[in-house]
Chain A
Amino acid sequence: MSHEPTARETLAQPREILLVYDQDCPLCDSYCHMARIRDTIGTLLLVNARDDSDVMREITRRGLDIDQGMALKVDDVLYYGADAICALSLLSSRSGVFNRLNHWIFRSGTRARLLYPVLRECRNLFLKLLGRTKINNLGLQGNRRF
């Protein structure tokens, strides 16, 4: 019996896209769990920024403050903050209201850069109310509390 390959099977090398964010933030966690990328691209792996991992070490090595923005790793490229959310929206599937809305809002880099600071402030406020401390991956002095 002939087998019609699925979109994922047509990928020469299934790709893993890493999304690094603070899983202690309920807003970020809900957003990242709802985000879907297109089947033809690969698999989206969610990485907790509070855990030690290769990608977190790379983020720190590059001097990126994960408290100031999430990161998306595509191949060897790290997208950070507004760029990450814009790249994620471009790679996202268009299935479901959330993904369509996400794509429509953040596909523009300009719009993402305008809105991202607002979202980050909401995240910081939430974590402050929940009594969490910053990740402080760069180990800055006096940077533990929100």
Chain B
Amino acid sequence: MNIRCRVLIVGGYGTFGGRLVQLLENEPRLTLIVAGRSLSRATTCCASRPPAGAELVPATFDRSGDLAAQLRALEPDILVDASGPFQAYGDRPYRSSAFTPATNSDPSARSR
């Protein structure tokens, strides 16, 4: 069974995150979860991309929300936090990344 690696790009419709999506979208082994606080912006970003190897999935993700629950729902294997403005990260700049190992699981064990 062909199981894609799920990459969650927070801020995936922004300047930096959007560039990452462009660079990764031709890789057929990836599912790119383009996420941010605005579902419509994530959807518009995914719809604007040409047909590519990777599967693009729009989603909502709020870095200041319940990270564990959001990550459990989205089931990423890799998290890239490209949301900005970077100067507003506060005193816990790596908060979202710190949660990722807790949700990481064996991709082959997934039901979908």
Chain B residues whose C-beta falls within 8 Å of the C-beta of A135 in the assembled complex: none
**Are A76 and B62 in touch, CB under 8 angstroms?**
no
Minimum distance in angstroms from B7 CB to a CB of chain A: 16
Interface residues of B in 26-60 (CB under 8 A from A): 38-40, 43-44, 46-48, 50-51, 55-60
Q: Are B57 and A90 in contact (CB under 8 A)?
A: yes
How many interface residues does chain B have, given as a range?
A: 20 to 34
Interface size, A (range)? 20 to 34
User: At the interface, yes or no: B91 with Cβ under 8 Å from chain A?
Assistant: no
Question: Could you tell me if B40 and A74 are in contact, using CB atoms closer than 8 angstroms?
Answer: yes
B47→A77 contact, CB < 8 A: no
- A74 interface neighbour in B39, B59, B65, B66, Cβ under 8 Å: B39
Evaluate contact between A110 and B50: CB separation under 8 angstroms.
yes
Cβ-closest chain A residue relative to B72: A10
B residues contacting A by CB (< 8 A) are 38-40, 43-44, 46-48, 50-51, 55-60, 62, 65-66, 69-70, 72-74, 112
Interface on A for B, CB 8 Å cutoff? 5, 7, 9-12, 15, 39-41, 74-77, 79, 83, 86-87, 90-91, 94-95, 107-111
